[in-house]
Amino acid sequence: MPDSEPGPGLRERKKIRTRETLRREALRLIAEQGFAATTIEQIAAASEVSPSTFFRYFPNKSALLVPDQLMDPIIDVFLQAPAELSPIAAYRYAVEQVFGQFSDPEWAEEAGRQALMYTLPEAAGPLYRQYIFTIGRITEALAVRLSRPADDPELRIAAGAMTGVMMQALHGTPMQPEMIYRALDFLDAGLPLI
């Protein structure tokens, strides 16, 4: 991915680190003692921040499980993907590029979070909102990539299909990048069931 723009400043990098520390410590505590037994106060203490700082980053404990940190990098790579790729192939390319940068421990952490997100009833509300947000972001990116109006209903349908494929692929156990890529290829081929 070309580095044409300067990266985030010191303040923004600190915010990103704090957010990811909160996430990492929450997942560790949840793995040790369960979701219900893990409190926001414990997560904040383990992250060396106050509970009020926690709420600047997440509205509630369930929101920690939503992988919102992946959307911006995926959209950035999607918009820069080779022009000859179909929109779905470009999205697959973006997902592969972003996920391909994960180390094994990072992938294990993400897989653990995804597993929790899909099995905890408490995560259903934030997860639904994140999928609606994701569909909107992909719709906007498709509009840019294809030079079409952002309110084109076909773009939203395509974005919904792409999001649906990701939902199903990420819901797999265990979560594997190859399954995600295969699912996006299947969608790009027109869902050939016969």
- d(CA 183, CA 18) in angstroms, rounded, equals 33
129 lies in the same domain as 149 = yes
151 lies in the same domain as 175 = yes
Of 160, 119, 118, 125, residue with least CA distance to 139: 160
122 lies in the same domain as 94 = yes
Decide if pLDDT at 4 tops 60.
Answer: no
- Per-residue pLDDT, 172: 61
- Per-residue pLDDT, 6: 61
| Residue 1 pLDDT class (50, 70, 90 cuts) | very low
Number of domains in the chain: 2
Residue 113 lies in a domain: yes
87 lies in the same domain as 135 = yes
Decide if pLDDT at 52 tops 50.
Answer: yes
- Per-residue pLDDT, 105: 84
| Residue 60 pLDDT class (50, 70, 90 cuts) | confident
Where in the sequence is the domain holding 28, given as residue range(s)? Answer: 10-58
Q: Are 111 and 70 in contact (CB under 8 A)?
A: no
Asked whether the bond before 174 is cis by omega within 30 degrees of 0, the reply is: yes
Q: Helices in the chain by DSSP H: which ranges? A: 10-33, 40-46, 51-57, 71-80, 87-99, 104-119, 124-146, 153-170, 177-188
48 lies in the same domain as 137 = no
132 lies in the same domain as 103 = yes
| Residue 2 pLDDT class (50, 70, 90 cuts) | very low
31 lies in the same domain as 100 = no
Residue 193 lies in a domain: no
- d(CA 73, CA 175) in angstroms, rounded, equals 20
Residue 176 burial (10 A CB sphere; 0-12, 13-18, 19+):
middle
The pLDDT tens digits for 91-100 are 999 999 998 8
CATH number at residue 163: 1.10.357.10
54 lies in the same domain as 71 = no
Q: What is the DSSP letter of 8?
A: -
Decide if pLDDT at 13 tops 90.
Answer: no
- d(CA 68, CA 47) in angstroms, rounded, equals 19
Please state which of the ranges 29-43, 46-60, 160-174 shows the lowest mean pLDDT.
160-174
154 lies in the same domain as 76 = yes
The pLDDT tens digits for 81-123 are 999 999 999 999 999 999 889 888 888 877 777 777 777 777 6
93 lies in the same domain as 157 = yes
Residue 48 lies in a domain: yes
22 lies in the same domain as 90 = no
CATH number at residue 22: 1.10.10.60
